[in-house]
Structure 1
């Protein structure tokens, strides 16, 4: 599917350092594609730019990390304008989930040469905030909060691993009251994730098998311990894509998380605080450009 009028949103503060404007100019030259670029600033973020472009261009392309991609997703969900992704961040979870080339030039070529199709993917709502990837509590949230910009700049995706080790040392189990599709569970764990996407940002590794952004379900994943044996079992679960007693897993359309006090959590890349988090699935609300060869069942 070839688009002639496109608009690219560039986040210059994304994790990669590369001459993205030069790449765009080189690849789009002599293609007949009319393209324009907007650059994000602290006063005009990707969400604002994307909202202003609805109905004014055929395709909105975002170059940035998962935070910027989530912003554009929040702006475009429920409308007819599709989003395309050029990975430019640290982990690039969503682009890996969708099988988009991780090399920026290859991702641009995908758009320029039209070897693509549009699919509709799921999003979810957490306390009136739409999200694309996941909500994290416990050590998964602390890991992201503590991986500051300097750490990510110096170490890239390894920054999250460094932060995770620092977080594990001080981790303590929390009690979660969960209402999963109306059924109550009282659970204790060191981290809780409600995810729309399977990919964890490392190669093609997923939390658990059969999780993807087109299945119409949320996946609630609870890890109950951080001792060495538990961590090895979790690693084996992701490596071999098998279920494990270390990770409790529920699939649902809606979940409410009730905590004993206001607690920081991560919704996509945004830090928020609440004592109750209401999360519900929004199936197939966002149109996204992927390669013609993309097969959701193979993810």
Structure 2
């Protein structure tokens, strides 16, 4: 798909350290594509920049990590302004989910060649706020919240694995009341995830088989305990992409999570706290540029 004008949103604090402006200039030079850039700052977020570009740019391309990507998606959802992702972070979950090349110059090539197409992907709405990836409670939230920034800078996404070992050992079960579509369930769990995306940011591994970002459904994944056997089963499930009895898995259009006390959780990359979380899927909410061979 050919674009005549592109606006880049660049996060200079993203995980990669590379000459992104040089790459953009080199790839787009002579293409006939006009382009401009905005840079995120302490008081200028990617989301606020993207919101101001709605209807004013043919394509908004974001260079940064998943936090930056999800901010832009939240600003553009429900509009006709599409986005492109140039992976620049530590995990780059959404880029991997959509098979966008991890190498910067190859991702940029999608912007100028007839090798890209726009895919309408789902988003979620959490307590009235849009999200792209997932809502994590328990172990999965603690893994992100407690990950050391310096460690992430030094070893990348492996930092999350190191943090996960600690959070798994320290995890205490929480009693959840779940309203999944019309079904009410009460469960104790050490981890609860409501996800729109399956990829976990490590290779092609996904949380559970069958999760799709274009099926108009959310996936609810619950881990009841942190026993060694359960963790082994989950690791095997991710590796072999098969089902396991160590987790419960539902698909739905709407889920309400209730706890007796406020719980910290992560919505995309952002920490929040509540004792009631209402989540619903918003099908085909945003158009994202993907490789043409991506279904």
**TM score, norm. by length of structure 2:** 0.98
- 2:262 alignment partner, SS class: strand
Rounded Cα–Cα distance in structure 2 between residues aligned with 1:208 and 1:191: 14
Tell me the CA shift for residue 182 of structure 1. Answer: 2.3
Q: Which residue in the other structure is 2:9 paired with?
A: 9
Q: Which residue in the other structure is 2:99 paired with?
A: 99
Q: Which residue in the other structure is 1:118 paired with?
A: 118
Where do residues 1-299 of structure 1 align in structure 2 (5 Å cutoff)?
1-295=1-295
Tell me the CA shift for residue 151 of structure 1. Answer: 2.2
Aligned residues: 295
Query: What's the C-alpha RMSD, in Å, of the aligned pairs?
Result: 0.8
- The CA deviation string for residues 183-216 of structure 1, in whole angstroms up to 9 with x for no partner, is 1101111100000011111111111112111010
- 1:159 alignment partner, SS class: helix
Say if 1:96 and 1:204, in contact at 8 Å, map to a contact too: yes
Say if 2:60 and 2:82, in contact at 8 Å, map to a contact too: yes
- The CA deviation string for residues 126-158 of structure 1, in whole angstroms up to 9 with x for no partner, is 111110000000010001000132221122101
Say if 2:5 and 2:33, in contact at 8 Å, map to a contact too: yes
Say if 2:169 and 2:226, in contact at 8 Å, map to a contact too: no
Rounded Cα–Cα distance in structure 2 between residues aligned with 1:66 and 1:83: 14
Say if 1:3 and 1:114, in contact at 8 Å, map to a contact too: no
Say if 1:214 and 1:283, in contact at 8 Å, map to a contact too: yes
Q: Which moved more, 1:127-136 or 1:151-160?
A: 151-160
Runs of 4+ with deviation above 4 angstroms: none
Say if 1:61 and 1:84, in contact at 8 Å, map to a contact too: yes
Q: Which moved more, 1:142-151 or 1:78-87?
A: 142-151
Tell me the CA shift for residue 227 of structure 1. Answer: 1.8
Tell me the CA shift for residue 224 of structure 1. Answer: 1.3
Rounded Cα–Cα distance in structure 2 between residues aligned with 1:129 and 1:40: 21
- The CA deviation string for residues 80-118 of structure 1, in whole angstroms up to 9 with x for no partner, is 110000000111000000010011111001112231111
**TM score, norm. by length of structure 1:** 0.97
